[in-house]
Structure 1
Amino acid sequence: MTDPTPAGDAARPVILAVDDDPAVLSAVRGDLRRHYGRHYRVVTAAGGAEAVATLRTLKLQSAPVAVVISDQRMPEVAGHEVLAAARELFDDVRTVLLTAYADTEVAIGAINDLHLDYYILKPWDPPEERLYPVVDDLLGDWHAHHRSGAALTRVVGTRWSTRTHEIRDFLQRNQIPMAWLDVDVSAEGRTLWEAAGSGALPLVLTPDGTGLADPDVAELAAALGHKTHTDTETFDLVIVGAGPAGLASAVYGASEGLRTVCVERLVPGGQAGQSSRIENYLGFPGGIAGADLARRAVTQARRFEVEVLAPTTVSGLDLAGPYPRVELSDGSAISCGALILACGVSYRSLDVPGSAEFEGRGVFYGAALSERDTVAGEDIVVVGGANSAGQAAVFFSDHAKSVTILCRAAELGAKMSDYLVRQIAARPNITVRCGTTVQAVSGDGHLEHVTVAGAEDASTEQLAASSMFVFIGASPHTDWMPPQIVRDARGFIRTGPALGGQRHPTADGDRDPYLYETSVPRVFAVGDVRAQSIKRVASAVGEGSVAVQFVHQVLRG
């Protein structure tokens, strides 16, 4: 370790660089210190064995290690072994492999086996183009996930409380560093609860010391400084929904000069934001968590001065005037030149005995990644056969004792991507039961058993399970819309050619609706809420960006 910790310097996050070539090590150290030395502690190691020893020392010092950059070809301990050791010691560390062109296959293998974050080909000159953007990106990810004790929001409650689950899920999906204290098992949790007067649970303690007893999501968001309303009454473009489609519309609209606001009822990211890892999205060879993708998109939107309001609920849409007017649940309203509906879908509820009673107490809709730690060492069930169910099963298999996938279809491959099917087959603690449906759920105060039946067998079987995560199709968020917005029988919004030849009047005569335009001129629909859309992140982003081109046309007209 060539950079001993100076007095008062231990709190600065560490960037560790490793290479057994003194000239290369000197170059990378110089580049890193020049760009990051003011805010980070740049540490170097002259070889793999020294790097592993350095990492262990940093662990004992409780040093925050943010990024490890290691050369691959080193005697005794290779670069991928250094990065594996870093992952074992520091859960949230970001890893980069320095490779020659001949070693790219090793780097790709490390992406698959170690979840390597990135690899950089040597030489990396100029660093402004080939080194710093990569490290900047990884540091942003690290800061979003790193749990600094001084900045933690503490949640005190009980595991089997629906309200506690809602708050933990909200914080996790917003990537707000959180400490979860169960009063049933945590002495510290009981002490905090008693100190607060043993009032209603859950108790939320924000980093500034504010205590909130059983807050709703809107109250918690306001206490954490989230923007939930706007002082502006008119925008060029209003977007309802901040999933991939809505955020893409926001970025493209604002970057092209439109005054834009994006209104989200819960958490930016939509269903994609709940995905533990999206591995087939272009440009992220190591995959990306849905929440990370959403955070990046929100940051990008705000860079272009998009107002992102979340959580903020849209209660109605007034189409009586010449321009759409979006009504919010707080009584305010926003007028706009054009409106994009990207309000997405929710997983359908499981309509079986016990499911409503145990929702939030063992039965969860969507990935509910906040339950990662609570299911450690337990038997759980995932219901569904598409990608979201597969991603959740793989994610939870790293923590749960066993994961049982219940799929109504005859095989997983019917709706699930091949890469996920192969990952599931390689996990020994995942069991797949196709042709199976849930008949009932039961337990004493929380989920304990799931009753299942085969499609061709009337007999039932009871599975022990502490948690069940359900992904069984989706219902669109369109109940609040006026009847002028034409929808199909399931509530999805019809657009463009799907409107069956409807025409829109203009000053120059009637015209066909634009590709993503609804039955109401100036109102568009994109993403999962649109009828006949392809339910993939990439297609949602594409629709959101393309719709902005038609927005420009209606604004000019």
Structure 2
Amino acid sequence: MDKPVILTIDDDPAVLQAIARDLRKQYGGRFRIMRADSGTSALDATQKLKLRGDTVALFLADQRMPNMSGVEFLEQASPIFPTAKRALLTAYADTDAAISAINDANLDYYLLKPWDPPEEKLYPVLDDLIADWKASFKPEFKGVKVISDRWSPDSHALRDFLSRNQIPYRWLDIESDPEAQQLISLSGEKVSQADHPCLPLVIQADGSKLTSPSVTELAQALGQTTEAAKPFYDLVIVGGGPAGLAAAVYGASEGLRTVMIEREAPGGQAGTSSRIENYLGFPVGLSGSDLARRAVTQAKRFGVEILTPQAGQSLRTENNYHFLTLSDGSEISSHALILALGVSWRRLNMPGIEQFTGAGVYYGAAQTEAAACTNEEVYVVGGANSAGQAAMYFSKFAKTVRILVRGESLTKSMSQYLIDQIDGTDNIEVLPFHSVVEAQGSEKLERILVKDSQTDEMKTFETNSLFIFIGATPSTDWLGDQVYRDQRGFICTGPDVDTSLGWPLERDRFLLETNVPGIFAVGDVRHNSIKRVASGVGEGSICVQFVHRHLANL
């Protein structure tokens, strides 16, 4: 952690140098000693420290300065760092002003000039002040801050990206957090209560700001890799879920120059899971984000290049080379390509859903939005494991979690261990034969209209939070006609490929190979795959062996 700051202010250069020297001698090992030659410059430095997430432990200001006195400075600086101790350096003639400031500016102490010897007249006083400050000190958050209102879809997209990419951040609600207004004011932005044109506002760890950035702009500002370092790779993997990550680890560990492209965040849909409890080797379970973090660390250790957020735009094959155009217009090529595209949450098609997506209606996003749902009523749509895992996670925050299921129970699509956990959780309620038919509200979700299919009764539930987990669809339209897919868009491999398409090579098609030699598909995007994390990891791992065999025959 960065050292807390002691800021001293004096307009006399000789005095400023002397006090800074004595402070550095006694406290330089534990604190960063900063100095300013005027109240105005000190206030500017204080604002910048706040934006960067630094901490001021002590202000030590000279009283008699032109334009802004020491007391005036402390009155303006104290709201920025309210826990910082405040001390005044005064001449004997200014003691009345110093005594008055104890009441008016919450001054903690005043010291008379000269302070020699500091061991007797300076350090004992400051030691006490610093000890008092340290006793209640809570470190400032050093990282990305996102300032917005809760119902901003743009803010939700940024926070979801940060959360899923495991970038530490803090969200400040403009409507309820005084610090949010303070940071906006310090950053120079103007925000009225009715209009927030600068939001979401992102303040980075160094204090720089991004006004209403896109996810890509935020990723680039944070140093995420979005552009490939090379034009050609032995192996290109499109998709960073469990299957793609496994392929990346095994490919790179076996000497292949490997790049992995992920449109959102490594971990894919599994990365959004709050708890995976049936993955081999983790008897107490682990979160999807933990699994993704471990896999990314492992992949990078073997030299995998990871591009995110980035996506495939189009694909063409010439001779033995596969050319992939990315969403930014750049192009990379390879001898082998693994499509580990995963799937996206299936969308509900009914009145109000699109209008409130990101403003009370969410697909997945349990870990991003859960804390904001504290003591509220949350509704989860879906009856598979992802819905059950989300409900269990929300139950730690929400007052009540209701799971809406179209069927008669959860048993057809949810693992028994999750059903047992849900049954044993007091604030989770399962409503079978219930389906959402409309989302209602003004600027945010305020209520949902639900139909009971057994009685045809229409029910209205007041809520600000609806989370949807109703299965998934593949995002494979960009592949065009080159790669053969089934009617639902899942990629066919091995014996599932239509035999009428022919095969140009003497060798047989490999088990996970598509109709195009050297292009493979693994994980949830593959036709008739087992939709489980372990099976995705297995397919990604064994696919690399087929890649090696393909490369050996070139």
TM-score normalised according to structure 1 size: 0.72
Match in the other structure for 1:438: 436
Match in the other structure for 1:333: 331
1:313-334 deviation line (CA, Å, top 9, x unaligned): 2111112343111111222111
1:374 is paired with a residue of what secondary structure? helix
Match in the other structure for 2:543: 547
- Rate the CA distance shift 1:256–1:186 in 2: closer, same or farther, 3 A: same
Task: Tell whether 2:243 aligns with 1:252.
Answer: no
Match in the other structure for 1:158: 149
1:542 shift after superposition = 0.4
Q: Report the Cα distance in structure 2 between the residues aligned to 1:347 and 1:474, rounded to whole angstroms.
A: 4
1:9 shift after superposition = 11
More displaced 10-residue stretch of structure 1: 220-229 or 314-323: 314-323
1:512 shift after superposition = 2.8
Pairing 1:140-539 to 2, within 5 Å after superposition? 149-196=140-187, 197-198=189-190, 199-501=197-499, 503-506=502-505, 509=506, 511-539=507-535
CA contact 1:245–1:543 (8 Å) conserved in 2: yes
2:456 is paired with a residue of what secondary structure? strand
1:229-282 deviation line (CA, Å, top 9, x unaligned): 122011000000000000000000111111100011111110000000101101
CA contact 2:366–2:393 (8 Å) conserved in 1: no
1:448 is paired with a residue of what secondary structure? strand
CA contact 1:503–1:513 (8 Å) conserved in 2: no
1:556 shift after superposition = 0.4
Match in the other structure for 1:29: none
Match in the other structure for 2:48: none
The one-letter code sitting in structure 2 at the alignment partner of 1:228 is: T
1:409 shift after superposition = 1.8
Q: Report the Cα distance in structure 1 between the residues aligned to 2:524 and 2:463, rounded to whole angstroms.
A: 31
The one-letter code sitting in structure 2 at the alignment partner of 1:279 is: E
The one-letter code sitting in structure 2 at the alignment partner of 1:306 is: V
Q: Report the Cα distance in structure 1 between the residues aligned to 2:208 and 2:471, rounded to whole angstroms.
A: 39
Structure 2's unaligned 5+ residue stretches are 5-137, 191-196
1:439-461 deviation line (CA, Å, top 9, x unaligned): 11111211111111122322211
- Rate the CA distance shift 1:531–1:148 in 2: closer, same or farther, 3 A: farther
1:155-180 deviation line (CA, Å, top 9, x unaligned): 10000110011111111111211111
1:463 is paired with a residue of what secondary structure? strand
CA contact 1:250–1:262 (8 Å) conserved in 2: yes
1:371-391 deviation line (CA, Å, top 9, x unaligned): 121100000100000000000
Q: Report the Cα distance in structure 2 between the residues aligned to 1:481 and 1:328, rounded to whole angstroms.
A: 12
1:424 is paired with a residue of what secondary structure? helix
CA contact 1:339–1:524 (8 Å) conserved in 2: yes
2:448 is paired with a residue of what secondary structure? strand
The one-letter code sitting in structure 2 at the alignment partner of 1:214 is: S
Q: Report the Cα distance in structure 1 between the residues aligned to 2:514 and 2:445, rounded to whole angstroms.
A: 43
Q: Report the Cα distance in structure 1 between the residues aligned to 2:332 and 2:392, rounded to whole angstroms.
A: 42
1:150 shift after superposition = 4.7
CA contact 2:238–2:311 (8 Å) conserved in 1: no
Structure 1's unaligned 5+ residue stretches are 1-7, 11-146
Q: Report the Cα distance in structure 1 between the residues aligned to 2:319 and 2:509, rounded to whole angstroms.
A: 19
Q: Report the Cα distance in structure 1 between the residues aligned to 2:333 and 2:498, rounded to whole angstroms.
A: 29
Q: Report the Cα distance in structure 2 between the residues aligned to 1:498 and 1:153, rounded to whole angstroms.
A: 47
Q: Report the Cα distance in structure 2 between the residues aligned to 1:495 and 1:245, rounded to whole angstroms.
A: 15
Q: Report the Cα distance in structure 2 between the residues aligned to 1:268 and 1:204, rounded to whole angstroms.
A: 22
The one-letter code sitting in structure 2 at the alignment partner of 1:471 is: F
The one-letter code sitting in structure 2 at the alignment partner of 1:272 is: A
TM-score normalised according to structure 2 size: 0.72
Q: Report the Cα distance in structure 2 between the residues aligned to 1:390 and 1:149, rounded to whole angstroms.
A: 36
Q: Report the Cα distance in structure 2 between the residues aligned to 1:505 and 1:456, rounded to whole angstroms.
A: 55
1:482 shift after superposition = 2.5
Q: Which runs of 4+ in 1 moved over 4 A?
A: none
Q: Report the Cα distance in structure 2 between the residues aligned to 1:522 and 1:485, rounded to whole angstroms.
A: 11
Match in the other structure for 1:48: none
1:299-345 deviation line (CA, Å, top 9, x unaligned): 10000001011111211111234311111122211110100000111
2:183 is paired with a residue of what secondary structure? helix
Q: Report the Cα distance in structure 2 between the residues aligned to 1:386 and 1:329, rounded to whole angstroms.
A: 32
Q: Report the Cα distance in structure 2 between the residues aligned to 1:264 and 1:540, rounded to whole angstroms.
A: 16
1:504 shift after superposition = 2.4
1:351 shift after superposition = 0.8
Q: Tell me how large the CA RMSD over aligned residues is.
A: 1.6
Q: Report the Cα distance in structure 2 between the residues aligned to 1:424 and 1:393, rounded to whole angstroms.
A: 8
Q: Report the Cα distance in structure 1 between the residues aligned to 2:408 and 2:539, rounded to whole angstroms.
A: 32
Q: Report the Cα distance in structure 1 between the residues aligned to 2:458 and 2:397, rounded to whole angstroms.
A: 28
Aligned residues: 411
Q: Report the Cα distance in structure 2 between the residues aligned to 1:367 and 1:215, rounded to whole angstroms.
A: 20
The one-letter code sitting in structure 1 at the alignment partner of 2:538 is: G
The one-letter code sitting in structure 2 at the alignment partner of 1:535 is: K
Q: Report the Cα distance in structure 1 between the residues aligned to 2:497 and 2:233, rounded to whole angstroms.
A: 27
Match in the other structure for 2:120: none
CA contact 1:148–1:177 (8 Å) conserved in 2: no
The one-letter code sitting in structure 1 at the alignment partner of 2:167 is: I
1:484 shift after superposition = 1.7
Match in the other structure for 1:139: none
Match in the other structure for 1:95: none
Identity of aligned residues (%): 52
Match in the other structure for 2:28: none
CA contact 1:276–1:367 (8 Å) conserved in 2: no
Q: Report the Cα distance in structure 1 between the residues aligned to 2:389 and 2:281, rounded to whole angstroms.
A: 19
Q: Report the Cα distance in structure 1 between the residues aligned to 2:379 and 2:551, rounded to whole angstroms.
A: 49
Q: Report the Cα distance in structure 1 between the residues aligned to 2:186 and 2:311, rounded to whole angstroms.
A: 34
1:503 shift after superposition = 4.5
Q: Report the Cα distance in structure 2 between the residues aligned to 1:553 and 1:209, rounded to whole angstroms.
A: 51
Q: Report the Cα distance in structure 2 between the residues aligned to 1:320 and 1:551, rounded to whole angstroms.
A: 18
